[in-house]
Chain A
């Protein structure tokens, strides 16, 4: 990595010049120190919110999903919105760890570990919703094809909902493996730094890693293979999620644009969530010289692109609604923008199409405060996008006599809030017990920072 020719004009990937052991120190120190008061506060709040979510889930499993605000017309609403929202969040992690790796975007090295962790936790949050929606979560294994005493009655492989089962479970497994493989060398570094129980635990988890170049060489091949597998996988996951809708005949859902539209939206919301988390993490763990303004600016540029694709998709949907000549389609879209749920449509539109445009200004995309606020705005917008697609398409369908409105119940809102508790609890535990920044990969790009400085020194001597 460090052998590659790099233009001296490029901005260094890590701003401070550090020796290799300083890099280790910087990343390992937060794991050794006692947790700060801020960490405890954040953890207790997240854990309390998780508790609320747990209570809500327990109640609705015990009582049944009649506790939701669904009716005969709107059979999918809050839970599927949340499911798609969380799966989408996860996509940025894989994009950073796999796609940017294949494109040799070395700036990813300081953020990929945390982004991958975010993917795992987001997918866990997402998985809760279909699990509860199944009504009888203890029979969830019925979704997998296994020989059974009912015939054998097999699952219906033609259903996109079943494709989803395979897509999400594969995505979670492969992301977890990819994450773990990336962690192994770093866990060995920590093992050799610490003593006592932690040394034993990390020694067990690092699989006897000893830094051998023969293993490193094979490891690099494996990492490349996993990145190559994860790339089409991440695209397939949201494609399949979008097919849950696109293969139906509901106006507003039945559209061939859905797969790319959903994937772009997923990356868009995922990067916003990575930014929210990274901006907090870099300050709390004092990692400002690893996660620099340069990283934040690059992610903001990806938000501009994916936000642009999302905006274009909204426009295309409207164009096709008119151009197709289908009265049902036309009605669905007029109803979306001007019907009883117009407020949610315009929240979505302003958050997703207008707000990322602000990142065209360099001042804004290099401002931490502005980025933090906009990243939350984008996530609100993307949540509403899923709500708009799902609820506005269903609530006024073909038969006006069955038109209805949907309103979430306290249970549904509480469950959604509870998933944030789960997400942040897991993330806080992660920053506490595992290296947030990939030690090995940062060391490899570290020499680049040094060379740049050497280059400057050379110039000064000549002058």
Chain B
């Protein structure tokens, strides 16, 4: 028998958590879990690794801040040094606020961009979401032999079980 995708819909948060844990224990492949809100504890239940977005954020902050600081050095001390109130051309303390703002801006925008790319989300993307998963139901999608998956999902308390293409 070939493996197919089977989805079971649950009505309670606790059920989806237990079902996900049990599925992995039983050696069934969890394709994904669809929930109307971020259910905590599901990361562990699915065995997801922590996101690497934090690294994108850090690098973008360093790049943005460093880039802006260099621009300020270049414009104030190299390209056209102007004597403003007798202050030194390389007036590093005065460059800190803008460096900080640039770091934050770059970090925020790059993290969001990386999130979209990694999650393959983009404006106008067409999706047909599973019934009611953005409203009030939790769906567990398994890749397994249909009979086994159906039995498993029903035993876990799924209200609806369906095979999906």
Give residues in A with beta carbon < 8 Å to B. Answer: 1-4, 19-21, 24, 145, 151-158, 160, 162-163, 166-167, 170, 173-174, 177-178, 181, 184-185, 188-189, 191-193, 203-205, 207-222, 225-226, 229-230, 232-233, 236, 240, 243, 440-441, 443-444, 447
Contact = CB atoms under 8 A, between A and B. Distances in A.
Contacts of B57: 225, 229
B3 to A, nearest CB: 20
B34 A212 contact: yes
Interface of B: 13, 17, 32-43, 46, 48, 50-51, 53-54, 57, 71-72, 75-76, 79-80, 82, 84-85, 87, 91, 94-95, 97-98, 100-102, 104-105, 107-109, 111-112, 115-116, 118-127, 129-130, 132-136, 139
A218 B115 contact: yes
B135 A193 contact: yes
Contact of B38 (A151, A167, A219): A219
Given A20-B135, A154-B79, A218 B38 contact: no
Main secondary structure of the interface of A (DSSP, over half): helix
A218 B104 contact: no
B108 A226 contact: yes
B40 A213 contact: no
Contact of B98 (A157, A208, A233): A157
A221 B50 contact: yes
Contacts of B108: 173-174, 177-178, 225-226, 229-230
Nearest to B76: A157
Given A145-B71, A207-B116, A207-B121, A444 B38 contact: yes
A163 B38 contact: no
Contact of B101 (A154, A226, A236): A236
Nearest to A447: B13
A229 B135 contact: no
A17 B141 CA distance: 29
23 contacts: A3-B17, A3-B39, A20-B136, A152-B75, A154-B80, A157-B94, A158-B85, A163-B97, A170-B104, A173-B108, A207-B125, A209-B134, A210-B134, A211-B35, A211-B36, A216-B39, A217-B38, A218-B119, A225-B107, A236-B101, A243-B97, A441-B37, A444-B39
B36 A440 contact: yes
Contacts of A230: 108
B123 A205 contact: yes
Most chain A CB within 10 A, of B38, B43, B91, B132, is at B38
A254 to B, nearest CB: 15
B82 A156 contact: yes
B134 A157 contact: no
Contact of A3 (B40, B107, B134): B40
Contact of A229 (B94, B102, B104): B104
A290 to B, nearest CB: 15
A173 B135 contact: no
A19 B54 CA distance: 35
A159 B26 CA distance: 64
The 8 closest A-B CB pairs, nearest first, are A208-B125, A20-B136, A154-B75, A221-B51, A21-B136, A207-B121, A213-B33, A211-B34
A296 B87 CA distance: 49
A3 B40 CA distance: 6
Contacts of B84: 156, 158
